[in-house]
């Protein structure tokens, strides 16, 4: 048994799951179907992420949903090689990033299917859904094939 495995036995290794709110339910349903859904304000036209009850631009409650293109560019990123919460030890190295969606909102995500050394700010990426369990599929991003 490795040192990491014996240490892992001392911790709760259960993965944290998203907390679904009434106003975010459609987002998770969309993700299960492979769709990246963004909220859309019917009053001012703002595209909104993360899901909310009110538009952050004009405070309207008239909010609908639109499917995003799934395309984005990397705004910034950080790769974890060590010193992360025990529940994520099996994932390292992994890269957390903020990406700017083509529709405007900035989203925190992971960059996958790319060696950490090859990830660059400004890189074009596309959404790919990562299955956590039967209910939750997380929107991660991978480099766009050239």
Q: Which two tokens stand for residue 54?
A: 């009110």
Closest to Zn ion by CB, 42 or 106? 42
Residue in 31, 36, 38, 55 binding Zn ion, rule: CB under 5 A: 55
Tokens 């025990």 appear where?
86
Q: Does 43 bind Zn ion (CB under 5 A)?
A: yes
Q: Does 41 bind Zn ion (CB under 5 A)?
A: yes
Strand pairing category for 63-67 and 71-80? unpaired
Closest to Zn ion by CB, 60 or 69? 60
Coil vs helix vs strand at 70:
coil
> Binders of Zn ion among 84-113, rule CB under 5 A?
none
- With beta carbons less than 8 A apart as the criterion, state whether 37 and 27 touch: yes
The interface region with Zn ion, picked from 23-31, 35-43, 98-106, 138-146 by CB under 5 A, is: 35-43
Q: Does 61 bind Zn ion (CB under 5 A)?
A: no
Q: Where on the chain is the footprint of Zn ion (CB under 5 A)?
A: 41, 43-44, 46, 55, 57-58, 60
């Amino acid at each position: 048994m490795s040192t990491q495995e014996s240490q892992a036995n001392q911790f709760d290794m259960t993965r944290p799951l998203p907390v679904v709110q009434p106003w975010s339910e459609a987002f998770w349903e969309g993700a299960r179907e492979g769709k990246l859904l963004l909220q859309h304000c019917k009053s001012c036209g703002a595209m909104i992420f993360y899901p909310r009850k009110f538009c952050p631009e004009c405070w309207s409650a008239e909010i609908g949903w639109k499917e995003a293109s799934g395309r984005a560019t990397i705004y910034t990123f950080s790769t974890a090689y060590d010193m992360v919460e025990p529940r994520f030890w099996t994932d390292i190295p992994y890269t957390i990033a903020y990406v700017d969606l083509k529709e405007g909102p900035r989203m925190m995500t992971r960059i996958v299917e790319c060696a950490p050394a090859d990830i660059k700010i400004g890189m074009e990426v596309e959404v790919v859904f990562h299955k956590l369990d039967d209910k939750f599929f997380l929107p991660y991003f991978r480099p766009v094939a050239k």
